[in-house]
Amino acid sequence: MASGVSCVAAGVCIVVPRGERVLSLGGTPRNLTLNSRRRVRVVLEDRRLEPMLNSPTVFVVDDDPSVRTAVERLLMSVGLPCETFASAPEFLRRAEAGLHGCLVLDVRMPGPSGLDLQRALVNSGNDIPIIFVTAHADVPLTVRAMKEGALEVLTKPFDDQAFLDLVNAALQMAQDRHQQRARIDSLRARFETLTPREREVMAHVVTGMLNKQIAGELGTTEKTVKVHRSQVMRKMEADSLATLVRMADQLGVNVART
């Protein structure tokens, strides 16, 4: 086997050094040649977990075990990863590890209610899309839930297809938010590489000021401003002034006042 090619069998991946040969580690035993003086890196791998690790999850919080089971079966029948919880505190413990997906949430539960859980998530800055399900929907409840950012309030029993359509919309919303956060994080990382002077120049550049004008404002030469401006464009990976302006807007950069 050539160097750099992985041999995967029985959940084990072996990366083979140049000049060595590995024929099988699972099923029928075969010849195995390894030079004891060279290292072989063994990486445990279970490929069946990859889709679940990379896919958004539907989190279901409901104190009724029959509802949890029914919703879980419905979601799994269309290939959607699902985790179920019997109470708000149980879900919040899971949330500490991070959440990527959407939340299907009962309104009335022993202890903290679904609305209490929604408020706790909002206060913590977690914007996971929420679909409320309840057997006792009323106008004030629906208004409160929607004001706090709920995607929808469904009344039990609900239509399976309507529910799945909402879940898919919520997962798409979660994915869009996830990608937006990743873009902002990338922009922030690039912005952090700018020197204090380059940030000053950027704050003036995005207002449309010319190099000569910026030099006058900062008490430096036009040539120096041109160098800083070039560095800003390079470090921020901006291909035009318009792109840099959009970046500054997304980052909330304080533009210079003229």
pLDDT tens sequence across 207-247: 999 999 999 999 999 999 999 999 999 999 999 999 999 99
Residue 201, C-beta contacts closer than 8 angstroms, at least 6 positions apart:
214, 218, 225, 228, 229, 232
Q: How far is CA 82 from CA 60, 75, 118, 151, in A?
A: 7, 7, 19, 18
Band (pLDDT 50/70/90 cuts) for residue 249 is very high
Which is more confidently placed, 37 or 169?
A: 169
When mean pLDDT is compared over 6-15, 144-153, 197-206, the highest value belongs to: 197-206
* pLDDT of the residue at 256: 65
Summarize the confidence of residues 186-210 as an average pLDDT. 94
Q: Which of 39-53, 58-72, 81-95 has the lowest mean pLDDT?
A: 39-53
* pLDDT of the residue at 135: 83
Residue 132, C-beta contacts closer than 8 angstroms, at least 6 positions apart:
105, 106, 107, 114, 145, 150, 152, 153, 154
Q: How far is CA 23 from CA 16, 28, 35, 130, 203, in A?
A: 11, 10, 14, 50, 60
Of all residues in the chain, the percent with pLDDT exceeding 70 is 77
Q: Are 89 and 111 in contact (CB under 8 A)?
A: yes
Domains belonging to the chain, first-starting first, are 6-45 (no CATH), 51-180 (3.40.50.2300), 193-251 (1.10.10.10)
* pLDDT of the residue at 4: 44
Q: How far is CA 120 from the centre of its chain?
A: 20
φ/ψ region of 149 (left if φ > 0, alpha if ψ in -120 to 50, else beta) reads: left
H runs (alpha helix) in the chain: 50-54, 65-77, 88-95, 114-123, 139-147, 160-191, 196-205, 211-218, 222-236, 241-251
Report, in this order, helix, strand and coil percent for the chain, each rounded to 5: 50, 15, 35
Which is more confidently placed, 223 or 27?
A: 223
Summarize the confidence of residues 147-164 as an average pLDDT. 90
* pLDDT of the residue at 68: 94
* pLDDT of the residue at 92: 94
pTM higher than 0.75 for the full model?
no
20: pLDDT strictly greater than 50: no
Per-residue pLDDT reduced to its tens digit, 100-149: 999 999 998 999 999 999 999 999 989 999 999 988 767 787 888 888 88
